[in-house]
Chains A and B, each alone.
Chain A
Amino acid sequence: MCFMKKLMEIKNLIVEKENFKILNGINLIIYEGVNTFLCGTPSSGKTSLLKSISGMQKYKGHIIKNCKIEVLFDDYSFSKDTILEELDYDTLNDKQKKIVNKFISKTTLKKNPFVVEEKTKKLVLLCQVLLRKPQLLFVDNLFSDLDKKTMYKILSYLKVKKITFVHVSTCIEESLNYPYMVILNKGSVAVEGKTLQVLEQEKILKRLGIGLPFYVDLSIQLRLYGLIDKVYLSKEELEGALWK
C-alpha cells in the first residue's frame, strides 16, 4: 500500500465529550481506490469518527485530507417541496443532470422528498453528495433501505467514477463487497486489514460480538470438519468444493 496515494490520514484522533472519551486515539489511513468497510461494537465511536471527518465535531489529533471528502449521514434534512428543488436540478449542467437521472427517475424528481419512500430519500442524499464531486466518500448505513440491485448499481458507479468509498454499517454480509475492513472497539481501531483476513480471525470477532458473513462462517466451520481447505465466497464455488 505504501506506493498508493493517501487520500486521508487520521493521526491519534481523540474526541471527548463531558469528560468522557469517545474516540481514544484513532489512527487510520485511507488509500486511493481501496474501498473500506467500517464497522464496530456498540458505542465504539463510528458516528463520532464520521462527525470529526465532516467537521461537525471538535477533536484533538490530526485529520489530514489530501482530496475532496464528503460524508453522507443516515438522516434527512430536506427543506424544499420537491426533489427537483432539493437538488437545484434546473441549475445543473447536463453532466450533473446525468448523475441525478442515473439514480432518480424524472417522474420521481417532481415528488416531495418528505413523502417518497426511504430508498428514494437515500438516493437524493447520495445525489447531493455526488454532485459535489468527492474523491473520497464516507457513508453511514446507506444500504439498509436499498435492495441489492441498487446497492451494486451504486458501487459500480463509484468504481467507474473512481470515487473511493468508506461504508459504515452493522450489516456484516456487506463487508465482502469491500477489499479492506476496519473494526472499531471502545473508540480505537481493534482490527484492520484485508477483509477476508480480518473475517478469518473469527475468535477476535466473536469476542467483540461481531458475526461473520454466511459463506465465511459456513466455510470456516466446514474447514474445521476437514471438508474444505479454504473460505469460499459463492454458492457455486462452495458447492463445487464440497462435492468435487
Chain B
Amino acid sequence: MEIEKYIEFGKINAVLNLDSLDFNFREEIHVLRIKPKYKNINVKKYLLEKTSCLEERMLSSLKLVHMEEDILEKKMNVLSTSEKVKVELAVLLIQNVNCIVFNKFDSYFMEKELLFFKKLFLKLVKKYKKTFVFVNSDLSFLFDFVNHLVVKKSKKDYLVLEDPNFYEEELYSIMDCPPIVDFVKYLNEQGKKILPYIDLKELLKAIFREV
C-alpha cells in the first residue's frame, strides 16, 4: 500500500483525498472496521472471543472509549453504529495494537464525542507512543490535533506537511477550504489584519480587538 510509507509512527496522522479505501496494510497497521452484520451475541462474549481478556480489562477499555458497564449485556447486532465503532476500538485497545487507521471517524460522532476522542488519542500518543491515522475528506475535524498530514495530489504525488499549517495555500488547490480558514483569508483580502487562527475563540478575540 503506497500510503504506508507516509505514516509517521508515534504521531497522529491524517490522510486526505484518497481515491479508494480498500486498505491492505501490513500486519502491524490495524484498520478499525465495523461489520455489516454481527453474531447474535452480547458485547461481553464478543470481546471475550476477540481478546480472551478478563472482565476487568474489558470494563477499563470500555470506560476508556466512553461506554458504560451495562453495554456488556447488550447484543452486538442491537448496537448503534457509533457504539459498534466504540466496541471495535475497545477490541483494538485491549489487543494493545500500536497503529490504528480510522476511516471517516468524524462521520460517526457529533462534536462532544469528537472532542472526547481527540483528547483520548492525544493522551495515547503522548503516554504510549501509539499511532493513529485518520483517513478523511474534511479538514475541520483535524485542527489542533493532527501532527502529520498527507494529502494525495495525484496518482503518485503526495503533499506531506509536518505539524501542518492549515493556511498552506497548496492544501486548498486540492481540498475544500474549512470555513474558519476561508473567513480569515477573506478578512485579510479585505484589508483586515487577522492572524491565521484555527480556534474560534482566538478568532473571536482578534475580531473584538480589530473592530
Could you say which of B89-97, B120-128, B160-168, B182-190 contacts chain A?
B182-190
Least CB distance from B47 to A in Å reads: 18
Most-contacted residue by chain A among B74, B80, B106, B138 (CB, 10 A) = B80
For B113, list chain A residues within 8 Å (CB). Answer: 42, 209
CA distance A42 to B19 in the complex (A): 28
Question: Is A239 at the interface (CB under 8 A from chain B)?
Answer: yes
Interface contact A172-B82, CB-CB below 8 Å: no
Q: How large is the interface on A (under 10, 10 to 19, 20 to 34, 35 or more residues)?
A: 35 or more
Interface contact A171-B81, CB-CB below 8 Å: no
With A215-B179, A227-B208, A242-B207 as known contacts, state yes or no: A209 contacts B19, CB within 8 Å. Answer: no
Question: Is B20 at the interface (CB under 8 A from chain A)?
Answer: yes
Question: Is B195 at the interface (CB under 8 A from chain A)?
Answer: no
With A117-B20, A225-B204, A243-B211 as known contacts, state yes or no: A209 contacts B137, CB within 8 Å. Answer: no
Partner of B183, one of A42, A148, A227, A238: A238
In chain B, residues 172-201, which have Cβ atoms closer than 8 Å to a Cβ of chain A? Answer: 176, 178-180, 182-183, 186-187, 190, 192, 200
Interface contact B208-A43, CB-CB below 8 Å: no
With A218-B200, A218-B203, A221-B200 as known contacts, state yes or no: A17 contacts B110, CB within 8 Å. Answer: no
Partner of A117, one of B19, B138, B176: B19
CA distance A146 to B208 in the complex (A): 35
With A147-B176, A173-B179 as known contacts, state yes or no: A43 contacts B80, CB within 8 Å. Answer: yes
CA distance A222 to B176 in the complex (A): 25
Interface contact A210-B183, CB-CB below 8 Å: no
Interface size on B, residues (CB 8 A): 42
Contact with A along B76-113 (1 / 0, CB 8 A): 01111111000000000000000000001011111111
In chain B, residues 51-80, which have Cβ atoms closer than 8 Å to a Cβ of chain A? Answer: 74-75, 77-80
Interface contact B137-A144, CB-CB below 8 Å: yes
Interface contact B187-A227, CB-CB below 8 Å: no
With A173-B140, A209-B111 as known contacts, state yes or no: A214 contacts B179, CB within 8 Å. Answer: yes
With A42-B83, A214-B180 as known contacts, state yes or no: A118 contacts B20, CB within 8 Å. Answer: yes
CA distance A172 to B109 in the complex (A): 11
For B182, list chain A residues within 8 Å (CB). Answer: 235
Interface contact A235-B183, CB-CB below 8 Å: yes
Interface contact B176-A42, CB-CB below 8 Å: no
For B110, list chain A residues within 8 Å (CB). Answer: 39-42, 170, 172, 208-211
In chain A, residues 164-200, which have Cβ atoms closer than 8 Å to a Cβ of chain B? Answer: 169-173
Question: Is B1 at the interface (CB under 8 A from chain A)?
Answer: no
Interface contact B211-A47, CB-CB below 8 Å: no
CA distance A117 to B110 in the complex (A): 26
With A41-B110, A210-B111, A215-B179 as known contacts, state yes or no: A47 contacts B80, CB within 8 Å. Answer: yes
Given contacts A144-B104, A147-B137, 6 further A-B contacts (CB under 8 A): A117-B19, A170-B109, A171-B107, A171-B138, A218-B183, A222-B204
Binding site for A on B (CB under 8 A): 19-22, 36, 74-75, 77-83, 104, 106-113, 137-138, 140, 176, 178-180, 182-183, 186-187, 190, 192, 200, 203-204, 207-208, 211
